[in-house]
Amino acid sequence: MTMVSAGRRPAGGAIVGVLLAAFFSPALAAPAPEIPDTFKNLKVLPKDIKKGELVGVMRMFAGALGVRCAYCHVGEDGKPLSTFDFVSDEKTTKRAARDMIRMADTINKKYIAKADLGRTERMQINCVTCHHGLTRPEQLQTILTRTTNEKGIDAALDEYRALRQKYYGGAQYDFGPVSLNMLAERLMRDNKPADAIKAAELNAELHPEDTFAQSGLGDFYAKAGNKPKAIEAMQRALSVDPANDYARKRLDALQKEEPAKP
């Protein structure tokens, strides 16, 4: 879990201190000329917050969720900020943002502050801990499972490729071998070996140097009754890591099995 050291405001304003400690800087804080000096309808942030602090916090929100002002506030992107109705609570996203701030503040003060983390500095969670630039943070395997259920495995793997093309190298999703392997295992449990193998084949293709992606594919081939391909996959797993005892034992067992009778 991503956490940052706390700073500045204690107690009820702790979340503000967290946000500013992580993201606030003079460059970010430069107040826009269209923003008023005093603010109305502040229900979570301190009512005496300074303009520069507020601008920094709002920019942190935007960066953490990958959005612009109009995501939460009534207004149109590209139009002057003076045309926005920042006081309005019309948008669900603005109301949800308040709930998220309260939630983070509760976690920070009620749980993390009392946890023995083995370090002297006080740690805090913030928006980017979960969002990483996404408006709706989800684990990749959750997305793949939903798409598989609704549209089938081919659509799910297409979505995986599209997300990987767009986000690979960022912190939004974990594109390591675990997500596709878990999808393949679930499909095999659901008695869909052909779909499981498709997911495992893509996993092995994208992670050729991961010995467990290769041996996992071998297992799926074996369960589907494709012994030659299972042997090939186990051999690839051992070529990547000769110390993979599991792959070696599975390979030995496969090679000792009697061929199926015609």
Going by C-beta distance under 8 Å and a sequence separation of 6 or more, which residues neighbour residue 3? 112, 123, 124, 125, 126, 129
- Higher-confidence residue: 30 or 251? 251
Tens of pLDDT, residue by residue over 211-220, are: 999 999 999 9
* DSSP codes, 139-201: -HHHHHHHHHHHH-HHHHHHHHHHHHHHHTTSSSS--SHHHHHHHHHHHHHTT-HHHHHHHHH
126 and 145 within one domain:
no
Overall number of domains in the chain: 2
**pLDDT over threshold 80, residue 13:** no
Given the structure tokens 């430069």, which residue do they identify?
30
154 and 108 within one domain:
no
Asked, for residue 197, whether it belongs to a domain, the answer is yes
User: Cα separation of 16 and 256, whole Å?
Assistant: 65
152 and 123 within one domain:
no
Asked, for residue 261, whether it belongs to a domain, the answer is no
Q: For the whole model, what pTM was predicted? A: 0.75
Residue 11: DSSP 8-state? G
49 and 117 within one domain:
yes
pLDDT at 197 (0 to 100): 97
166 and 105 within one domain:
no
> Are 218 and 237 contacting, i.e. CB atoms less than 8 angstroms apart?
yes
**pLDDT over threshold 90, residue 28:** no
- Final residue in a domain of this structure, among 74, 106, 131: 131
Residue 36: Cβ within 10 Å count: 12
**pLDDT over threshold 80, residue 106:** yes
Asked, for residue 89, whether it belongs to a domain, the answer is yes
100 and 68 within one domain:
yes
The pLDDT-based confidence of 241 (bands split at 50, 70, 90) is very high
242 and 158 within one domain:
yes
User: What percentage of the chain has pLDDT greater than the value 70?
Assistant: 85
Where in the sequence is the domain holding 164, given as residue range(s)? 140-256
89 and 19 within one domain:
yes
- Final residue in a domain of this structure, among 76, 107, 131: 131
Counts of helices then strands in the chain (DSSP H, E)? 12, 2
